[in-house]
Amino acid sequence: MDYGHPLRFGLALTDHAAVARARLAEDLGLDVVAVTDPRTGEAGPEGAGVLEPWTLLAWVAGTTERIGLAAHLIEHPDRSAAVFARAAASLDLLSGGRLETGLAARHAPALAEAVEVVRALWDTGEPGPAHVDGEHHALRGAQRGPAPAHEVALWLGADHADADDDALLELVAEHADGWWSATSRPDELAARNAAIDVAARAAGRDPREVRRLVVLTAPDTVAERVDAVPVGSEPVASEPVDTESVDPVAIERIDADAWRHELVALALEHGVSTFLLDTDDDDLVRVFAQRVVPAVREAVASARAAAGVVVGVPAPRRLREQRREGIDYGAVPAGLDAIEPGHARYGDVRSNYLRGGRPGIVLLPRDSGEVAAALGFARAQDVPLGVRSGGHGISGRSTNDGGVVIDLSRLDDVEILDPASRLVRVGAGARWARVAAVLEPHGLAVTSGDSGGVGVGGLATAGGIGWYARKHGLTIDRVRAVDLVLADGTAVRASASENPELFWGMRGAGGNLGAATSFEIEAHPAQPLGFAQLVFDASDVAGFLERWGAVVETSPRDVTSFLVMGRPRAGQPVVAQVMVAVDSSDPRTVIEHLNPFAQVAPLLDQAVQIMPYRSIIVPAGGPHRGEGEPVSRSSLVRHMSPEVAAAAERVIMTGATFFFQVRSVGGAVSDVPPDETAYAHRAAGFSLTAMGVSRGSLDPRWDELHQHADGLYLSFETDPRPERLLDAFPPPTLARLRGLKDHYDPDDVFSANFAVGSARTGHLA
């Protein structure tokens, strides 16, 4: 019985020479090294005079680069399954996803509980703490995580050959990714494989979900045994071998032909796909790696080709059960990294900053070719599509429920193309914190938003209102070219001279027209700049807003200011936090520009620093873990007029918002003609945003304020009502965008975020 699993060969490490032997294994091109508990006859992690296996494995991970790492440790009361789960995930993260791990049973029921604990803690895609009600291993509301870096295969087996009883084999059949066989005797393998296969089918699993592993000992006994067992495979051709590194005596001593025959038989007759050699003889290791393994691979490959066996490991039942309707998981293009519900990394990619998501599959292309492949796959599925760069977008439209998400985070190169013209190329999946960090040593920056966790692609196609807005304009105003993949998979470049109309649309409505993969941006010179955080008593809310707005508008363009107010608290003054960026490293100039702000209202607290741009933007942080649906509204206004300020006061004082923010725009942003980009609201001086708990409480209040608005900034808007589209894109802009849409995306593939609809139908998607 050949299950068609890829073959892997490695070493079981046992003693003090393990470290050197692991490196030898890596140098010889073997696939994996494994540690096990010392064979002292004592159960569990106790054992004298030898190295503690997990410590050894972590050390080996640190002293190797490539080779796979495996542990097979005995389940034991002194070995907390919960701590083991975190340790295993940690080693996978530290080693760059090289771990697979296993537990050996003293007692099947205890092992079953340990497995449940391990899987529960790894499953960070599930919200809330983990509970496992076990007698031997339990979790009572434990935090999940860390998730491993990749799908860590869990091998289960017996702690000695006689313990492969029915209960254990059933457990293997139901829960294991691999069976760590305690025997390599063909007759025992055959019987136990059969038992596993029967139990696997009974549990709704494909027996091929369970890989099979044996530990091999010295080959002279192997040779004896091979005589007793008929081998049904083709004779193995002799391989040329680098004999210089092998002791000739060792070659003579070892009957390599017989050994090859036995391994081929184990693979083809008994479905064994992972072979671990347990030896302290380095010559034997060399013979194994150089004379035996290549020949076995070749013989098995040709036998499989002849028999039409497809090589691979099917997705396990626990993943298949979580798959979503309408997605053909088998059709994911080969080589494209894909994360499904239940995968270790799903918790890191399913949600956005503020919005929870449960996509059916997340694709992580590495280049524009893979983006095209991902788009081709997505178009063939009858589910929603989201394209995500950083996933920070307030509306969170780049994730979904049951759909496809194309996550561009791997396209994250940041490169200076030409220091003289300050031209930089930035991948769509890079985050602005890294862009700032890479550019700072060169005395450069690109104005972005206020958070370093925001991705380049979303911001650089929508607008980008940041700390240099009044001086250097929007982020899109610095973009000189965009490379993107169109809905039909074509990679194109848009700039003033290439596809200029598309270039126009990509700056302000890019999410409608294609998947941007990289941007050429003209950075601006940057020096450490003054950054003030001022806290005001803003009890006179409307008056405060008006006065602040007036100071902003009369300040030079070196000054950009943002303002944040929360929900008023009973019995406390209404407080406003004002941040002011002053593009100067001279403290006197900074203070001079700050002075007018200090007059706006009673100052409760202040902090002023000269700091680099990268330190001003909020650090990127870890993966997004948003839950639920965010509620936010946006308005762009010309001035903080008495009408706007009064309406804002009503929004704030009714408690309809818990986060109200104003960002100064104007300045250089207003130098750009409205028809120069698809972001048309060039006359606006201020961008107002509010986040609320519910549409019902926020919308009526905000609608009043919005009467005084010229439009909205689509990145901060979650209102689904169709009239918002015209707020985002005034009629001339919308008409042009629909023309582009009909040309570049006639099937409306990119429809998740402020879909412009078609010029042919006038239909709002």
At position 81, the amino acid (one-letter code) is A
* Residue list 462-481, contact with another protein (CB under 8 A): none
Complete DSSP assignment for 274-315: EEEEE-S-HHHHHHIIIIIHHHHHHHHHHHHHHHTPPP--PP
Distance, in Å, from the CA atom of 361 to the CA atom of 350, rounded to the nearest integer, reads: 9
Closest contact distance (angstroms) between CB of 16 and another protein is 8
CB of 280 to another protein, least distance (A): 17
Q: Which is nearer to another protein, 138 or 198 (CB)?
A: 138
Show Cβ contacts of residue 689 under 8 Å, excluding neighbours closer than 6 positions.
394, 632, 633, 634, 659, 660, 661, 662, 663, 713, 716
- The contact pattern for another protein, residues 415-444, with x = CB under 8 A and - = no contact, is ------------------------------
**Interhelix angle for 642-653 vs 541-554, to 10°?**
130
Nearer to another protein, 138 or 646 (CB): 138
Number of residues that bind another protein (CB under 8 A): 52
Report the alpha-carbon distance of residue 590 to residue 645 in Å, rounded.
27
Find the binder of another protein among 43, 90, 650, 742 (CB under 8 A): 90
CB of 160 to another protein, least distance (A): 19
Toward another protein, which CB reaches closer, 46 or 671?
46
Q: Least Å distance between CB 178 and another protein?
A: 21
Shortest reach from residue 153's CB to another protein, in Å: 18
For the CB of residue 270, give the shortest distance to another protein in the complex, in Å. Answer: 34
Q: Which residues contact 723 (CB under 8 A, 6 or more apart)?
A: none
**Angle ∠(505,509,515) on CA atoms, nearest 5:** 90
Q: Helices 166-175 & 186-202, crossing angle to 10 degrees?
A: 60
Q: How far is the CB of 126 from another protein (least distance, A)?
A: 12
Closest CB 50 distance from another protein, rounded Å: 7
Q: Considering the complex, what minimum distance in angstroms separates the CB of residue 65 from another protein?
A: 11
Q: Is residue 528 close enough to count as binding another protein by CB under 8 A?
A: no
Q: Are the beta carbons of 60 and 100 closer than 8 angstroms? A: no
* Positions 103 through 162 that interact with another protein (CB under 8 A): 117, 121, 124, 129, 134, 137-146
- SS3 per-residue string spanning 633-644: EEEEECCCCHHH
723 burial (CB, 10 Å; 0-12 / 13-18 / 19+) is: exposed
Question: In terms of CB distance, is 145 or 369 closer to another protein?
Answer: 145
Q: Count how many residues are written for the chain.
A: 765
Nearest to 385 by CA among 752, 759, 727, 763: 752
Asked if 564 is part of the footprint of another protein (rule: CB under 8 A), the reply reads no
Piece of 74-82, 291-299, 498-506, 583-591 that binds another protein (CB under 8 A): 74-82
User: Which span (45-53, 397-405, 720-728, 752-760) binds another protein, by CB under 8 A?
Assistant: 45-53
Binding region for another protein (CB under 8 A) out of 93-101, 406-414, 536-544, 549-557:
93-101
The answer to whether the bond into 146 is cis (omega within 30° of 0) is: yes
Residue number, 125 or 505, with CB nearest to another protein: 125
Largest Cα–Cα distance in the chain? 97
Q: Whole-angstrom distance between the N-terminal and C-terminal Cα of the chain?
A: 53
Mapped onto helix, strand or coil, the DSSP state of residue 394 is: coil
Query: In this chain, which stretch among 48-56, 170-178, 310-318, 680-688 interacts with another protein, using CB under 8 A?
Result: 48-56
Interface characters, 208-227, with another protein (x: CB under 8 A) = --------------------
**Shortest Cβ distance from residue 322 to another protein (Å)?**
21
CB-based contacts of 124, cutoff 8 Å, min separation 6: 144, 145, 146, 147, 344, 346, 347, 348
CA distance 627 to 659: 17
| Binding-residue pattern over the window 609 to 648 for another protein, x denoting contact by CB under 8 A | -------------xx-------------------------
Q: Is residue 645 within a helix (H) or strand (E), and if so which, with residue range?
A: helix 642-653
CA triplet 222, 38, 213: central angle to 5 degrees? 45
> Does residue 83 interact with another protein by CB under 8 A?
yes
For residue 720, how many C-alpha atoms fall within 13 Å in the half-sphere facing its CB? 9
Nearer to another protein, 519 or 613 (CB): 613
Min. distance of Cβ 129 from another protein in angstroms?
A: 7
Nearest of 519, 528, 711, 490 to residue 611 by alpha carbon: 528
**Which lies closer to another protein via its Cβ, residue 121 or residue 268?**
121
Shortest separation between residue 49's beta carbon and another protein, angstroms: 5
Q: Say whether residue 78 binds another protein (CB under 8 A).
A: yes
Is 101 or 475 the residue whose CB approaches another protein more closely? 101
Instruction: State in angstroms the smallest separation of the CB of 108 from another protein.
Output: 19
CA distances from 260 to 234, 251, 297, 481 (A): 11, 13, 10, 58
CB 518 within 8 A of CB 411: yes
Place of tokens 């206004």: 637
Q: Which of 25, 51, 115, 545 binds another protein (CB under 8 A)?
A: 51
Residues 637 and 686: beta-carbon distance below 8 Å: yes
Amino acid letter, residue 588: R
Nearer to another protein, 49 or 731 (CB): 49
Answer yes or no: are the C-beta atoms of 290 and 241 closer than 8 Å. Answer: yes
Q: Give the residue, chosen from 36, 95, 409, 751, that forms a contact with another protein under the rule CB under 8 A.
A: 95
Give the C-alpha distances (Å, rounded to integers) separating 89 from 99, 111, 573.
8, 18, 48
- Closest contact distance (angstroms) between CB of 408 and another protein is 19
Q: Which one among 93, 598, 726, 759 touches another protein, defined by CB under 8 A?
A: 93
Q: How far apart are CA 261 and CA 242, in angstroms?
A: 21
Among 4, 23, 43, 94, binds another protein (CB under 8 A): 94
**Interface residue with another protein, options 12, 24, 32, 58 (CB under 8 A):** 58
Out of 19, 190, 336, 604, point to the residue binding another protein (CB under 8 A).
Answer: 19
Shortest approach of another protein to residue 120 CB, angstroms? Answer: 11
47 interacts with another protein by CB under 8 A: yes
Task: Note whether 642 and 700 are within 8 A (CB).
Answer: no
**Residue from the set 4, 59, 323, 550 that interacts with another protein by CB under 8 A:** 59
Residue 229 within binding range of another protein, rule CB under 8 A = no
In the shown chain, the binding pattern of residues 583 to 602 toward another protein, with x for contact by CB under 8 A and - for none, equals --------------------
Part in contact with another protein (CB under 8 A); list of ranges 84-92, 161-169, 170-178, 286-294: 84-92
Site residues for another protein per CB under 8 A: 16, 19, 40, 42, 45-52, 54-56, 58-63, 78-83, 86-87, 89-91, 93-95, 117, 121, 124, 129, 134, 137-146, 622-623
